[in-house]
Chains A and B, each alone.
Chain A
């Protein structure tokens, strides 16, 4: 029983990270109906950038995180301007392949710069554990969960209260209407990519604090695909719920199914969920069901 509780906690923390990464997918899909396959690579590049700044002498955590945010926001702007915006009006296949191409470029450049060795961060969160009714919860887990929830809260506020947030939602709703009321859609797209890159960096940073960073970290992006589809492509709420559900499923399922199939269940659970969701409920938990006309 105790193991189940620990696995639940690990699952929730892992799931909240999935949710944070899935949020990046959802934001880009909502605004430009492009599914960003390069998101995992952005997470990886963000984590590597944090590592690079952290290794420079005299950079505190906050300074390096801030610099990494700036650098990746610039990267997002470049991607939008040079790679994504020329594709306006092209079929879906072009968009998919373009983001895959970007993924390939980012992965390649990261391999050249940072190599394929495992990099670990200096200790960032204090090693401590809280005792809740006899269950030890690592402070690190608690902090990660707290930061992710804080990020989600801030985002909700941003989209509900600020003018820019409203403009972004209007753009997501309908490009032409947004343009007609004076919103610069291309600026919103750029802003969107910048925000998504910052989110990816945050996700990468939080993940790397516990496991370190390596090129293969980008595989998390593809796993979050399952989260996004499970929750519904257009739904922020869906990303949170599905993220935590898949995190739980992966951890608890991994524990109980592994002995039966000889290990490695964790890697495959998200994809099995993905196929099941696509077969049974293609629009996810909270997604919009589109009705199509010719």
Chain B
């Protein structure tokens, strides 16, 4: 980690701190206050944007731990999110369970599915593993569509609002705070997992699995752990998403969603939790920008229809992914580091 000059870690507590400098503390506390006040400052549709951002961020952080840290490529994150979403939706809407318990059940269900499809990782890696998770994507969505008594089949199901001890999260502002708290908690977990013994074992596996095994890292244990934790994050994300939208169906969890999750971690920067935040924010802003600009641009080309908009979105996303891979394969997180070292030295060059 790069640090400004003059910052020495004189004690152990200082050395292992996540937030090191006074400036970082100022930004952290200031940022938290801003996020807490956000619903009272900004209009509702921006609050809604932030909710989507937080919910996706949780899933992306999970994928970052699995793919960015442990190097196990997953093309099925959206399917694991769907497991979490449908579990919580069924338990709350159909059986009337309280949300905290249904969320834990979502995590458990997603972890079970993650472990099941992560099992091939013990024998295979790289492309082969990506294929296994691809199969997970299709099989899970197929199951959702073919269990209509449970999930409502391809029509999906309506989801009840969260009700914790009589307090109903029935509007975006109330929901914003719930999601903010959960996201903060899981960001904390992800950041600390990544720099713990587990995270270091994952990085060793990513860089060279055979060398890692020779160093005494239990490959099977840590790979499965990575799959389990990734799916747990996906489960939480799914549960939060399910109770935010009025109805869920399989179309929210297609292969393309999985691909965007993967794109987010690459655009943000592989192997950094801040990368997950940057990548998710980037794609969300791009999405909002295109949806906002579309009605303005459309008349210029003589009225583009909705289908063409969807096509244009796909093409632009694909192009963004390609450009990032070609020009900045290490993502926005690296640009941010470069920017930081630039402003620390400013006005000097080096």
Chain A residues close to B by CB (< 8 Å): 35, 83, 86-87, 90, 92-94, 96-98, 100-112, 115-116, 222, 225-226, 229, 233, 261-264, 267-268, 271-272, 274-275, 278-279, 282, 292-294
Q: B142 interface residue, CB < 8 Å from A?
A: yes
The interface stretch among B10-18, B27-35, B49-57, B207-215 is B207-215
* Bound CA–CA A262/B143 (angstroms): 11
* Bound CA–CA A104/B312 (angstroms): 10
Give 18 A-B contacts (CB < 8 Å), ordered by A residue: A35-B127, A83-B322, A92-B73, A93-B71, A93-B73, A98-B322, A101-B318, A104-B317, A105-B315, A105-B318, A108-B315, A110-B311, A115-B308, A222-B138, A222-B255, A275-B120, A278-B123, A279-B123
**Smallest Cβ-Cβ distance to B262: which chain A residue:** A97
Asked whether, in the complex, the Cβ of A93 is within 8 Å of the Cβ of B142, the reply is: no
Given known contacts A83-B322, A93-B67, A261-B146, A275 and B135 CB-to-CB distance under 8 angstroms: yes
Asked whether, in the complex, the Cβ of A96 is within 8 Å of the Cβ of B73, the reply is: yes
Chain B residues close to A by CB (< 8 Å): 67, 71, 73, 75, 117, 119-120, 123-124, 126-128, 130-132, 134-136, 138-139, 142, 145-146, 208, 210-211, 214, 255-256, 259, 262-263, 266, 270, 307-308, 310-322, 325-326, 329
Tell me whether chain A's interface is mostly helix, strand or loop, or mixed.
helix
Determine how close the nearest CB of chain B comes to the CB of A54; give it in whole angstroms: 22
* Bound CA–CA A76/B91 (angstroms): 49
Determine how close the nearest CB of chain A comes to the CB of B282; give it in whole angstroms: 15
Asked whether, in the complex, the Cβ of A93 is within 8 Å of the Cβ of B139, the reply is: no
* Bound CA–CA A101/B318 (angstroms): 4
Asked whether, in the complex, the Cβ of B325 is within 8 Å of the Cβ of A98, the reply is: yes
Asked whether, in the complex, the Cβ of B146 is within 8 Å of the Cβ of A116, the reply is: no
Determine how close the nearest CB of chain B comes to the CB of A230; give it in whole angstroms: 11
Given known contacts A94-B325, A108-B311, A268-B142, A103 and B127 CB-to-CB distance under 8 angstroms: no
Determine how close the nearest CB of chain A comes to the CB of B150; give it in whole angstroms: 13
Tally A-B pairs: CB < 8 A.
Answer: 150
* Bound CA–CA A217/B146 (angstroms): 22
Tell me whether chain B's interface is mostly helix, strand or loop, or mixed.
helix
* Bound CA–CA A106/B208 (angstroms): 34
Query: Chain B contacts of A100 at CB under 8 A?
Result: 259, 262-263, 318, 321
State the 5 A-B residue pairs at the shortest beta-carbon distance, nearest first.
A111-B311, A108-B315, A104-B318, A108-B314, A105-B318
**Smallest Cβ-Cβ distance to B68: which chain A residue:** A93
Query: Chain B contacts of A294 at CB under 8 A?
Result: 208, 210-211, 214
* Bound CA–CA A107/B315 (angstroms): 7
Given known contacts A108-B316, A268-B138, A96 and B322 CB-to-CB distance under 8 angstroms: no
Pick the contact of B131 from A97, A278, A292 — CB < 8 Å? A278
Query: Chain B contacts of A263 at CB under 8 A?
Result: 146
* Bound CA–CA A294/B322 (angstroms): 31
Pick the contact of A94 from B210, B315, B329 — CB < 8 Å? B329
Asked whether, in the complex, the Cβ of A112 is within 8 Å of the Cβ of B308, the reply is: yes
Determine how close the nearest CB of chain A comes to the CB of B289; give it in whole angstroms: 16
Query: Chain B contacts of A226 at CB under 8 A?
Result: 135
Asked whether, in the complex, the Cβ of A282 is within 8 Å of the Cβ of B214, the reply is: no
Pick the contact of B313 from A108, A268, A282 — CB < 8 Å? A108
Query: Chain A contacts of B307 at CB under 8 A?
Result: 111, 115-116
**Smallest Cβ-Cβ distance to A262: which chain B residue:** B146
Determine how close the nearest CB of chain B comes to the CB of A288; give it in whole angstroms: 13
* Bound CA–CA A199/B142 (angstroms): 30
Query: Chain A contacts of B132 at CB under 8 A?
Result: 274-275, 278
Determine how close the nearest CB of chain B comes to the CB of A289; give it in whole angstroms: 12
* Bound CA–CA A46/B329 (angstroms): 30
Given known contacts A93-B67, A102-B318, A271-B135, A278 and B128 CB-to-CB distance under 8 angstroms: yes
Determine how close the nearest CB of chain B comes to the CB of A194; give it in whole angstroms: 20
Determine how close the nearest CB of chain B comes to the CB of A210; give it in whole angstroms: 24
Query: Chain B contacts of A268 at CB under 8 A?
Result: 138-139, 142
Determine how close the nearest CB of chain A comes to the CB of B346; give it in whole angstroms: 32
Query: Chain A contacts of B211 at CB under 8 A?
Result: 294
Pick the contact of B322 from A105, A110, A261 — CB < 8 Å? A105
